[in-house]
Structure 1
Amino acid sequence: MGFELSVVAVIFFISAVLMGTYSYTMMGTSNELIDDASAEQYRMQLSKLQTDIEIVESTADGFEGTYNLTVSLTNTGSESLRFDRMNVIVDGNLESYTYDNVAATWTPSETRNLTVTDLSGSGVHRVKVVTENGVSAYGSYLV
């Protein structure tokens, strides 16, 4: 009976050591993932704080049933942005846009134009431009 009790005690001890080692490894990996996610969250928040855009002018042209909207934007923040990763919303509808054949990187203090084609309707309209990190600017124009 003494030998069996010793064997069971050794099995329990080895199991406890293995489970402790496994748990420590998993907790270390989890902490690394949390640290990486926290660093990424800080980077995203800093990028958002340093981003600002302004709609300088919104101009509609070509009024034969449909029109084209040209929006002039200035990057007033200190963060370089991707001009091809923005969203343009006109009267609550997500619209595709084109821009001048220039580099996709939009540097601070630079003014650029984008064009939304085949819009319809008359009166006052609202346009919203949203950057890749969620900062937006609003404007209105008259057709």
Structure 2
Amino acid sequence: MGFELSVVAVIFFISALVVGSYSYSMLNTSNEIVSDASEEHYQMQNSKLKTNLEVESAVAGNYSGTYNLTVTLSNTGSETIRFDELNVLVDGDLESYVYSDVAAIWTPAETRNMTITDLSGTGVHRVKIVTRNGVSAYSSYIV
């Protein structure tokens, strides 16, 4: 009877060690994931706080069924923006755009032009420019 009790105690002890080491490794991995996510969240917030852009003008070209819209933007923040990663919405619809500058890097205090082609409709319209980190600028124009 004493030997059986000793074997059971050893089995419980080994089981407790295995479960404990597995639990520790899982908790450690979870803690690293949360720590990495917190760091990434901080970097995204910091980037968003430093990003600012301004629509200086939005001018529609001659209307003949469709028109081209030329938007002049200024990077008024302290963060460098990728000009080719902007999203342009005209009246809530995502539109493609072209830009004449060779470099896609848009440094602070720099002004750029973009052209949105083949737009339609007359009256008052609204254009929204959104950076990859969610900062946006709005403007209205009349066709």
Using structure 2 for the length normalisation, give the TM-score.
Answer: 0.97
Report deviation, 1:101.
Answer: 3.6
In structure 1, the partner of 2:120 is 120
In structure 2, the partner of 1:139 is 139
Using structure 1 for the length normalisation, give the TM-score.
Answer: 0.97
In structure 1, the partner of 2:57 is 57
> Structure 1: how far apart are the matches of 2:63 and 2:44?
41
Matched, 1:6 2:20: no
Give the gaps of 5 or more residues in structure 1. Answer: none
3-state SS of paired residue (1:129): strand
In structure 2, the partner of 1:27 is 27
Query: Number of aligned pairs?
Result: 143
Identity over aligned pairs, percent = 68
Runs of 4+ that moved beyond 3 A: none
Aligned partner letter, 1:115: T
Aligned partner letter, 2:95: E
In structure 1, the partner of 2:77 is 77
Aligned partner letter, 1:13: F
